[in-house]
Amino acid sequence: MINIRSFKYCNIVILLFPILLSQLTAGAQSKDTTKQQQLPNGTDGLVFQKRSTDSTFVDKKTDLEPNEFEGTYSTFRIGMGYIGDYTAYSEDKVFKQQMDSAGLNLTPHYKTRDFRILASGRFLKTKRYIAWKFAYMYDGDKNTWLVRESGLTIGVPELKGHIFIGRTKEGYSMIKVMNGHSGLTNERQMALDPIPILADGIKYFGYLPKSGLFWNLGAYSDLTSHGQSFSTFEWQYVGRIGWLPINNTKTGTTLHIAANLRYGKPLGGKFTIKSRPESNPTPQLINTGEFAADKSSSLGGELYFKTDRFMIGSEMMVHNFYANAANDHHFFGGDAVISYFFTNTSRPYNTVGSVFGFVPVKKSVFKGGWGAIEGIIHVSTFNLSDKEIQGGQFTRITPMVNWYLTKFLRWELVYGYGILDRFHLKGNVQFFETRIQVTLM
């Protein structure tokens, strides 16, 4: 079923598209562009991302990607993305008993996770850096279309950063901020599920090269997103503050340290947390059910160290819910990940968004190369049991391989071993998964 609010947004864009395109193509033969500041590599829909570089400028039209065009008043970039998953299972007897108690049945199947179309650009005749973006996505889980990250990014050099206004990611967690197509693993860790994927509002992000300090501060409300599936809070304030003590681009060595803080008001004084076991075709195996929650806070920490082909990282967090006429509740989770590239490449770090970006592919398989091959080991857990709430705890160990055949085609081979502690039982399940991902951004 198509979301009505998203459908209205789409109609507006479709009506304006011919006018915009005529302005863009009118200047397609103009001279080389003026310098254009790069935006965060790894953030959905942002423009002019040189995926293997950091804080660079585009000087010539020949530097643009094939899907980028230069117009009279704005550049124009169009992109798309597709993710499809296949998952099969091997369950022990106790786990099958737990599935019976939850009323669930796991069957092998293929599922489209999402399909998205993107448009973005930078205004050419403004003294201040101003960029725009629009994204529209089919959500295979909810079988609906919705507006993704869309809005304006405004450069504020006097404040050493940028301000974004519109629909975007809140800014909590490195992995949550990163583009979903550039993630290390097939899915984000379970403990991030209480954080909405999108929010409508304003955020300010920046970086100080000399000290290595960076920040991302945001304020959001559901005024324009009320009724959207991601809108679970009336309002929320989010802060991500960190330090980059090491970022040597010559040796590929990076040390990233950050803290996340979030405070908000759940819609209607109630909240529900449910989480998939980092497998999109799989149902939510842990679930708190609805509980009273007048306010909520989340506190988390990030630590990542990368040197050339090797990277190790971890994010830990606690989600707190406070109720005036009921018990307060606290839910803990976290993960650890190790990455190693078997081919001669390295995952780049971008200081503008303080995130890791898309993996560069030096020689694709279509040009006689191996592309880029990455091995991953990921361990994560999330506990949704506290006091009278017995939502269960799930722990997963995931060895996997990311094969970047080209810069736009990624194939994942994933094995997962999961432990479910729920219904006073502890059962085990194995996941056999593969993912195909097409990324033209």
Would you call 369 exposed, middle or buried from its count of C-beta atoms within 10 A (0-12, 13-18, 19+)? middle
Question: What single DSSP character describes residue 197?
Answer: S
Q: What are the chain's domains?
A: 4-440 (2.40.160.10)
Residue 229 pLDDT: 87
b/e map 77-98, b = 16+ CB within 10 Å: bebebbbbbebebebeeebeeb
Residue-wise pLDDT tens for the chain (441 aa)? 434 443 344 444 333 433 333 343 343 333 333 333 344 433 443 433 343 333 333 444 556 677 888 889 999 999 999 999 999 999 999 999 999 999 999 999 999 999 999 999 999 999 999 999 999 999 888 788 999 999 999 999 999 999 999 999 999 999 999 999 999 999 999 999 999 999 999 999 999 999 999 999 999 999 999 888 899 999 999 999 999 999 999 999 999 999 999 999 999 999 999 999 999 999 999 999 999 999 999 999 999 999 999 999 999 999 999 999 999 999 999 999 999 999 999 999 999 999 999 999 999 999 999 999 999 999 999 999 999 999 999 999 999 999 999 999 999 999 999 999 999 999 999 999 999 999 998
Q: Which residue type occupies 175?
A: I
Tokens of 128: 């201040």
Beta bridge partners of 285: none
Looking at residue 105, its pLDDT comes to: 95
CA distance linking residue 428 with residue 242, whole number of Å? 37
* Cα atoms in the 13 Å half-sphere on the side-chain side of 405: 10
Model confidence over 311-330: pLDDT tens digits? 999 999 999 999 999 999 99
SS3 (DSSP) at 358: coil
Report the C-alpha gap between 333 and 389 in whole angstroms. 16
Where does 92-141 show beta strands of DSSP type E? 109-122, 130-139
- For residues 322 and 296, the answer to whether their CB atoms sit within 8 Å is yes
Q: How much is the pLDDT for 63? A: 60
Distances (CA, A) of 75 to 109, 134, 177, 209: 41, 13, 25, 28
**Adjacent-strand bridge partners of 76:** 69
Q: What share of the chain is helix, strand, coil (3-state, %, to 5)?
A: 10, 55, 35
Return the pLDDT at 65: 73
